[in-house]
Chain A
Amino acid sequence: MTAAARSVVVVGTAKNAGKTTTFNALRAVAARRGVAIAVTSIGRDGEPADALDAEPKPRVRLAPGTIVALPAGLVPRSPALAILDAGGASALGTTVFARVVLPTTCEIAGPPTARAMRATIERLRGLSTGPVFVDGAIDRVAALAGGGDAVIVATGAASGATIARVAAVAADTVARLMLPGRDPQREHARVIVVAGALDARDAEELLADARDATVVVEDPTRIAIRGALFAKLRAAVDLRCERPLRVVACTTSPVGRETALSPRALVEAVARATGLPTFDVVADLAA
């Protein structure tokens, strides 16, 4: 968390990968240090149970002084929040910007569009002296591309049964999200701009025909290929994006639905595979 990245977005490699746990840990650390923060969410969060699998989800408890952006329909009636501003629309009503006065537990949801999400983060930055934390969603992180936000990738046993598998998925995800931005000084003479998603068919064509080219997508989330095919393409062409993301760290959750991995081994494996600082915020480990 630095002055250069006044907003931090947490995304997960899979459901129950520890995203909200990481989000809550960030908030808890800020609270311990007396740092006032602002929070919002891409998508809906803070429900008692996951909407898809009914698994219990961590509640979002907000400390006094926290600035929160949430739809009018989710503003808790009690304890009352101090309403600071309102504007923009979501499926759940106008986005309300409020300051927590007494500790409260609530749902958080963000606006539906990329532009509105960007505007919400900017408004939170204006209202808060501290960092903005965003409980994100990997399929909607495109909203933040090019914005200079720091991205933390939460991964864990929910995305693989073995440490090697979890580390591989994390490395693949991070490599895609860290796709470099365009650099006119280093581009090949031939530049291919891929409109929309770059899928497996596009990848096959590029591998056959574009080995001496710079291939540009709009943002990292437009890369729709995974695993070996992505690695092969990345090695073969100069793959770049118009609006890059800035991934700064990973977190690990060693427990899956029926499995538990070694926390320390997992932290170390993910750090090795991604080349990023990696933390287990529950077991208090770092690598």
Chain B
Amino acid sequence: MIADALTAERIGLTWLRAAVAPAGAFGRRHDDATPVYGPGDVARAHAEIADVVALAERLERDGVARLRAALRAVPEATPVVARARAGDALNDVDFYELGRLVDALAALAGAWDAAGGESHRRPPVLDALRAVLAPGRDGAGFYLADAFAPGLRAARAALADAEAAADVRREAIAVRVRDAIGIDPVGDEFVVLRDVYDGPLPEGVRVVRETPTYRTAAIGVLAPERDAALARVSEEEETARRALAERVARETDVVGAATRALGALDRMLARVAFTQRWGGCIPSLRGDRIAFCDATFAPLADVLAARGRRYTALSLDLRGVAVLTGPNMGGKSAALATTGFLCACAALGVPPPARTASLALLDAVIWIGGDGPEDRARLLSSYAAEVVRARDTLDAASPSVLVLVDEFARTTGPREGRALLVAFIEALRERSAFALVATHFDGVAESACAHHVRIAGVRDGALDALDAGDLETALDAINAAMDYRIVDARDGGATSDALALARLLGLDGRVVLRAQALHDGEK
């Protein structure tokens, strides 16, 4: 489903993508590689949404949060696995990271069980890889343990003995230095001032640097046994790493499959968490209508909840083109956005937050109204931006395109604007596109022979008793007085309530009264 930046922002698609973003890197990769559902993907989209709804009902909400935290903690082991598969040498940090992967998957599986997940869908665990790494694991860490190569223990014991012998020799030289020069060499290097001591240095001490006034000396322990032991340890450790890497390589297919499964699980759990937060239904995806009952435009509901304001769930049955009218601040734009948002949910395999829904998997959603960043970059005026969008929309319009029109041509002369809107709706109808057209122009639906719905609007007399206060108080009052439901326009005419709202929003009362008089005179 294509949606440009303006549309994605207006219909909450950008918000939705963030809301269902996977927790971990595997999920993000999986998500990036999963195409958005289009008109030919009804069965797959339906199956995914049904799966999400079932899991949202089955899993505990806290458990899902814990599962997502566990997913977030799964380390990115893909580069190590790829190198192991290619036969590259691995190092101890690589083995440590694989150990972390094993632990993280075990923790994830535990979280799945605790959340009440079904056993046949349990996330994968890597027991074979755990067994491979086990000799080197003590808790969460990793050490290339003696058990990884038959000669390692003996080589290390020999090195420890050689180191101890070298230390004894070093200490003997240090004693000679103390006796001859009176200096206690704490480290291997020390300084001998010539005016303190300018004689021959004790055996085992070499000069690192010489100046007219001092010598820098170092205790040099010749320890060929230690060097040989070190070389042998190095050789044995590399042998152990090669053998271990080969065993890891044999597990890479299993690890790859596990990480892919993690990606799918992460995507699924992101949708489950969303559904548990916002509710969601399994929609019909027949594509012949866009209808929903008690739907929530989650991005707006989220903002309203944060401000303590109520959100009214919306219902609509859109078959082809409909014109939406209603008062200012009545939620016409929100109704448009809700329609696009629910279709976007279906396209992303997310249960639409509604009691019931019948939706279409679309090729594109197009928002016309106002100007977006691309329009501003092209230095288009608001009107020009809308017209250019309308032009492009007619090129793209089809039965699998949803056009959301928000007060098209409001910035031009009302008579010409209205005429242009009617003609545009007719053109959309000819192309059998879905369209919901919000406008304040009168009689558009009748002229374009389109279905007419309206926002129910301010409850009778609800604004009359209210006084203008500060803006927040006024907005709260309007929110309480407004009936945001979408109803059939045949059930009664709507007014814009523009003057009452202007008064409540604090416009000078004399101005409002004068406007009211002018309006009444025109009537």
Q: In the bound complex, do residue B142 and residue A282 qualify as a contact, i.e. CB atoms below 8 Å apart?
A: no
Question: Residue on A with the closest CB to B190?
Answer: A282
Q: With A101-B143, A102-B160, A260-B214 as given contacts, are A80 and B237 in contact (CB-CB < 8 Å)?
A: yes
B residues less than 8 Å from A84 (CB atoms): 140-141
Which of under 10, 10 to 19, 20 to 34, or 35 or more describes the interface residues of A? 35 or more
Other-chain contact of B91, A77, A82, A85, A101 (Cβ < 8 Å)? A77
In the docked arrangement, what's the CA distance between A101 and B184, Å? 27
Give 1 or 0 for each of A16-32: 1 = CB within 8 Å of chain B CB: 00000100110011000
A residues less than 8 Å from B153 (CB atoms): none
A17 CB to nearest chain B CB (Å) = 13
Interface residues of A in 76-100 (CB under 8 A from B): 77-86, 94, 96
Question: Residue on A with the closest CB to B194?
Answer: A260
A59 CB to nearest chain B CB (Å) = 8
In the docked arrangement, what's the CA distance between A259 and B211, Å? 8
A135 CB to nearest chain B CB (Å) = 13
A266 CB to nearest chain B CB (Å) = 11
- Asked if A1 is at the interface of the complex by the 8 Å CB criterion, the answer is no
Interface residues of B in 127-170 (CB under 8 A from A): 138, 140-144, 156, 159-160, 163
In the docked arrangement, what's the CA distance between A96 and B233, Å? 22
B residues less than 8 Å from A28 (CB atoms): 186-187
Other-chain contact of B230, A79, A81, A101, A253 (Cβ < 8 Å)? A79
In the docked arrangement, what's the CA distance between A206 and B227, Å? 62
In the docked arrangement, what's the CA distance between A254 and B211, Å? 13
Give 1 or 0 for each of A234-261: 1 = CB within 8 Å of chain B CB: 0000000000000000000111011110
- Asked if A147 is at the interface of the complex by the 8 Å CB criterion, the answer is no
A residues less than 8 Å from B186 (CB atoms): 24-25, 28-29, 281-282, 284
A residues less than 8 Å from B193 (CB atoms): 254-255, 260, 262-263, 283
In the docked arrangement, what's the CA distance between A25 and B188, Å? 10
A residues less than 8 Å from B144 (CB atoms): 80
Give 1 or 0 for each of A142-166: 1 = CB within 8 Å of chain B CB: 0000000000000000000000000
Q: In the bound complex, do residue A255 and residue B214 qualify as a contact, i.e. CB atoms below 8 Å apart?
A: yes
A36 CB to nearest chain B CB (Å) = 16
Other-chain contact of B143, A75, A80, A258 (Cβ < 8 Å)? A80
Q: In the bound complex, do residue A103 and residue B183 qualify as a contact, i.e. CB atoms below 8 Å apart?
A: no
- Asked if B97 is at the interface of the complex by the 8 Å CB criterion, the answer is yes
- Asked if B238 is at the interface of the complex by the 8 Å CB criterion, the answer is yes
In the docked arrangement, what's the CA distance between A257 and B212, Å? 11
B238 CB to nearest chain A CB (Å) = 7
- Asked if A56 is at the interface of the complex by the 8 Å CB criterion, the answer is yes
Question: Residue on B with the closest CB to A18?
Answer: B191
Interface residues of B in 220-263 (CB under 8 A from A): 230, 233-234, 237-238
Q: With A85-B140, A101-B143, A258-B211 as given contacts, are A283 and B233 in contact (CB-CB < 8 Å)?
A: no
B517 CB to nearest chain A CB (Å) = 58
In the docked arrangement, what's the CA distance between A111 and B117, Å? 41
B residues less than 8 Å from A77 (CB atoms): 91-92, 234, 237-238
- Asked if A58 is at the interface of the complex by the 8 Å CB criterion, the answer is yes
- Asked if B213 is at the interface of the complex by the 8 Å CB criterion, the answer is yes
Q: In the bound complex, do residue B233 and residue A78 qualify as a contact, i.e. CB atoms below 8 Å apart?
A: yes
B50 CB to nearest chain A CB (Å) = 40
- Asked if A287 is at the interface of the complex by the 8 Å CB criterion, the answer is no
In the docked arrangement, what's the CA distance between A84 and B92, Å? 11
Q: In the bound complex, do residue B159 and residue A102 qualify as a contact, i.e. CB atoms below 8 Å apart?
A: yes
In the docked arrangement, what's the CA distance between A81 and B185, Å? 27
In the docked arrangement, what's the CA distance between A257 and B214, Å? 10
Q: In the bound complex, do residue B191 and residue A255 qualify as a contact, i.e. CB atoms below 8 Å apart?
A: yes
Q: With A75-B91, A79-B237, A86-B93 as given contacts, are A283 and B183 in contact (CB-CB < 8 Å)?
A: yes
In the docked arrangement, what's the CA distance between A262 and B195, Å? 9
Other-chain contact of A82, B142, B183, B185, B188 (Cβ < 8 Å)? B142
B91 CB to nearest chain A CB (Å) = 7
Q: In the bound complex, do residue A102 and residue B163 qualify as a contact, i.e. CB atoms below 8 Å apart?
A: yes
- Asked if B189 is at the interface of the complex by the 8 Å CB criterion, the answer is yes
Q: In the bound complex, do residue A282 and residue B91 qualify as a contact, i.e. CB atoms below 8 Å apart?
A: no
Q: In the bound complex, do residue A58 and residue B187 qualify as a contact, i.e. CB atoms below 8 Å apart?
A: yes
- Asked if B427 is at the interface of the complex by the 8 Å CB criterion, the answer is no
A90 CB to nearest chain B CB (Å) = 13
- Asked if A72 is at the interface of the complex by the 8 Å CB criterion, the answer is yes
B residues less than 8 Å from A25 (CB atoms): 186-187
B residues less than 8 Å from A260 (CB atoms): 193-194, 211, 213-214
Q: In the bound complex, do residue B156 and residue A102 qualify as a contact, i.e. CB atoms below 8 Å apart?
A: yes
Other-chain contact of A72, B93, B160, B185 (Cβ < 8 Å)? B93
Name which of A84, A94, A258 has the most chain B CB atoms within 10 A of its CB.
Answer: A84
Q: In the bound complex, do residue B187 and residue A102 qualify as a contact, i.e. CB atoms below 8 Å apart?
A: no
A residues less than 8 Å from B216 (CB atoms): 255
B516 CB to nearest chain A CB (Å) = 55
Q: In the bound complex, do residue B96 and residue A86 qualify as a contact, i.e. CB atoms below 8 Å apart?
A: yes
Q: In the bound complex, do residue A82 and residue B141 qualify as a contact, i.e. CB atoms below 8 Å apart?
A: yes
Name which of A80, A82, A94, A254 has the most chain B CB atoms within 10 A of its CB.
Answer: A80
In the docked arrangement, what's the CA distance between A214 and B141, Å? 50
- Asked if B419 is at the interface of the complex by the 8 Å CB criterion, the answer is no
B residues less than 8 Å from A21 (CB atoms): 187, 189
Question: Residue on B with the closest CB to A80?
Answer: B144
In the docked arrangement, what's the CA distance between A101 and B142, Å? 12
Q: With A79-B233, A83-B142 as given contacts, are A96 and B93 in contact (CB-CB < 8 Å)?
A: yes
Other-chain contact of A83, B92, B185, B209, B234 (Cβ < 8 Å)? B92
Interface residues of B in 55-81 (CB under 8 A from A): none
A residues less than 8 Å from B19 (CB atoms): none
Name which of A96, A262, A284 has the most chain B CB atoms within 10 A of its CB.
Answer: A284
In the docked arrangement, what's the CA distance between A81 and B91, Å? 11
In the docked arrangement, what's the CA distance between A270 and B211, Å? 24
Question: Residue on A with the closest CB to B163?
Answer: A103
9 A-B pairs with least C-beta separation: A260-B213, A78-B234, A82-B143, A83-B96, A80-B144, A260-B214, A24-B187, A28-B186, A84-B141
Q: Can you offer 15 A-B residue contacts whose CB atoms are under 8 A?
A: A25-B187, A72-B91, A77-B237, A79-B159, A79-B233, A81-B92, A83-B95, A83-B141, A85-B141, A101-B143, A253-B191, A260-B193, A282-B186, A282-B191, A284-B186
Instruction: Give 5 A-B pairs besides A78-B230, A254-B191, A255-B211 with Cβ atoms closer than 8 angstroms.
Output: A24-B186, A58-B188, A86-B93, A257-B211, A284-B186
B interface residues (Cβ-Cβ under 8 A, vs A): 91-93, 95-97, 100, 138, 140-144, 156, 159-160, 163, 183-191, 193-194, 208-209, 211, 213-214, 216, 230, 233-234, 237-238
